[in-house]
A and B are shown apart, each in its own frame.
Chain A
Amino acid sequence: MTVDTAPPPTAVPASAPAARRRGTRPGRIGLHVFLMGVSIAFLAPLLLAVYASLRPYDETSKYGYFSLPRHLSFHYYKQAFSDSGMTKYFVNTLIIAVPGVIVTLFLASFVAFAVSRIRLRGGIVLLMLFTAGNLLPQQVIVTPLYVVFNRIPLPYWMSDSMTMFDSYWAVVLVQVGFQIGFCVFVLANFMRTLPQEILEAAIVDGAGVWTQFWRITLPLCRPAIAALATLEFTWMYNDFLWALVFMSDGDKLPITSALNNLRGQFFTDYNLLAAGSVIVALPTLVVFLLLQRHFIAGLTLGSTK
C-alpha cells in the first residue's frame, strides 16, 4: 500500500535524464517545503482544538492564544464528561453502529455475490438500484420516513416511545438501508476480480448457492469486508442527520448528533466546545491511524477497476 515505490532519489548518483525527470535538488526541497506547509496547515485546526481544550479559558482570554500555557489540564474533558454524560452517547452510538455495520455488510455482500458471481437475470438492474440509492441526497427520503416511522407502533420492550420514531430501530434501519448501496457497489467490483474457476469447481462438487456464498466467496472477500467495515463504522459514527430527525429524546442520541444538542451549554465556553469536539473526533481518528490501510482501500476499491 505504500505510495513511495520509487527508489530514494539521493541514494545513487542519478544519470542525466533521470535527474531531469525527477527534478533538480532545489526542486525537491521546494516540493518538500510545499508539502510540509500544506500538511501543517491541514493539521493545524486539529492541533488547535487539542491545545484549546487543554487550556483554561481565563488564560486564553488574558494572554491570548499564542502565549505559553501556564496550566494544562484535562479539566474540560472532565467537565464535558460529567456535565453532559458523554459515556451515554458513546453507548448509543455503539447500539446503532455495531448492528448497523454487521447487517449492512452481510446483506450487501450477498447482493454483491448474486449480481457479480451468479448469472442472475436483471443483475445489472439490481446493482444500479442499490448504487443509485446511495447517491440520493438524504433529505429526499427524510420526510416520508419521518411520517411513516411516527405511525409504526412498536411494543414497549422494543421502543419506549411505543413507535418506530424515536427508537434505535429507526436509525439502525435507515443506516442499513442507505449504506447497503455503497457496499454492494464496492463488493460487486471486488468480487468480479476473483477467479471464477474456484466457484465453478465448487459448483461441480455440488455446492449450493449458500455454500458458494458463505464458504467460497466470502472468505476471499476478507480484505474488502475489512475495508468496508472500517469505512462504514466511521460513516455511521459520523452521521449527524438521521438521529437528529428520527429521534426526539435527547438521551438516545448518538455522540455526533448529541454534540450539537450540547452546544447550548458549550456555547459560552469555546475551550469546552474544543474538548467536546476532540472527544467526538478521537475514536474515528484512532480507527483511522490504526486501520489506515483498510480505510483507504475501502474508498479506492470502488474507484479504480
Chain B
Amino acid sequence: MALNTARRSARRGRRRFTRRDLVVLGLLLGIPVLLDIAIVWGPTLASVVLSFTSWDGVGSIKWVGTQNYANLFTNYPPFWPAVRHNLLWLGFLGLVAVPFGLLLAVLIDRGVRFSRFYQSTLYMPVVLSLAVVGFIAQLIFSRDQGVLNAVIGNTKNPVDWLGDPRLNIWMILLAAAWRHTGYVMILYLAGLKAVDPSLKEAAAIDGASEAQTFFRVVFPTLRPVNVIVGVITVIESLRAFDIVYAVNHGRNGLEVLSVLVTDNIIGEASRIGFGSAIAVVLLAVSMGFVVTYLVQEIRGEKSR
C-alpha cells in the first residue's frame, strides 16, 4: 500500500528520471548493493550451504547432510560450554550492565553538577577496542603480577583469576560490562533528553513519586531505546570474541561460539564445513532477534 501511494505521487508530482539520473542511480546504488551481497549476504548463504558439507578448504566438497550438526551437538566437547558462555554473556550484560547503565543515565539526567565529567568518564571505555580491554583485564586479573591479587594481599596463595576455568568467565564478563555499561548509558541519556518534560510535570502535579513517574511515565516512552539497547546487547553477546581471544584464545573456561568458528577455519585442521555449522547456529539465534527488530522498525516506518 505504501509503495502504491509512493508510485502514484511520483508519477503525478515528478517527471521521470533522465538518462543521466538512471546512470547515477544504477552505479551508486548498484555498487553498494553488490558489495553488500558479495561481502555480507552471499557469504551468509554460503555458510549455510557449506554447513551441510565436509570440506577442508582444498579438496573436494562432499555433501554430508546434517552430520556436522549431529557431531556438533553430540561429540564436540567445547560446544555446549560455548553456548553456555554466550548465554551467560547475554544474561550478564542484559541483567547487570543494562540496568546499571540505565540507572547511571537516570541519575546524570537529573541535572547534577559535573554531569559532563561523569558522562565522559563512564563512556570512555567504549572507545577502547575489546582487544585492549582484554589486555587491560590481564593487568588486573593476572595471577602473579595482577593488581587484584596485590590489593587483596594474598601473594602467598594467589588466585588465578583468568586461569581458573570456574572463575575466568566472570572476570571477562566484568570487563565486557565495563565497556557495555557506558554504551547503554549514552543511549538512554539521549532517550531521556527526548522525553517531554511536561509529562514529568504532569505526573508530579498528580502527586506521583519519583519512582512512579519513572516507571509509569518515563520508561514507557523509552521503548525505542529499549529495543535498540536490547538488539545491541544480544548482538554483542553473540559476537563476543575479541576479549577472550586476547586473553587466552578462548580456551580453558573461556570458550565462546565465535572462537570455535575461527578455530575451525584458520586452525590447522581447517574444517570448513564444521566451522560453518557453528556459524549457522550463531546466525539462527541472531536472526531471530534481528527479524523481530526489523519488523518493529517497518511498523514504525509505516505509522510515520
Contacts and interface: CB of A to CB of B under 8 A. Distances in A.
Asked whether A and B interact, the reply is yes
Interface of A: 2-9, 17, 21-23, 28, 31-32, 34-36, 38-39, 42-43, 45-46, 48-49, 52, 60-61, 64-66, 107-108, 110-111, 114, 118-119, 121-122, 124, 126, 128-133, 135-148, 150, 173-174, 176-178, 180-181, 184, 203, 208-210, 213, 234, 237-241, 244-245, 256-257, 259-260, 263, 270, 273-274, 276-277, 280-281, 284-285, 287-289, 292, 295-296, 299-300, 302-305
Most B CB within 10 A of own CB, among A43, A107, A139, A177: A139
Contacts of A38: 104, 118, 122
Nearest to B278: A139
Given A35-B118, A237-B129, A288-B124, A129 B36 contact: yes
B135 A277 contact: yes
Given A48-B139, A240-B241, A35 B112 contact: yes
Interface string B93-124: 00000000000100111111111111111111
23 contacts: A3-B115, A3-B193, A4-B112, A21-B204, A38-B104, A42-B124, A46-B124, A61-B145, A107-B35, A124-B301, A126-B33, A130-B32, A137-B258, A140-B283, A270-B142, A270-B145, A270-B146, A280-B129, A281-B128, A287-B127, A288-B127, A303-B224, A305-B224
Contacts of A147: 57, 272
A130 B34 CA distance: 11
Interface string B125-155: 1011111100111111010011100110000
A143 B150 contact: no
A21 B129 CA distance: 40
Interface residues of B, number: 116
Nearest to B256: A139
B129 A208 contact: no
B162 to A, nearest CB: 12
Contacts of B245: 240, 244, 260
A234 B132 CA distance: 13
A274 B246 CA distance: 13
Nearest to A174: B39
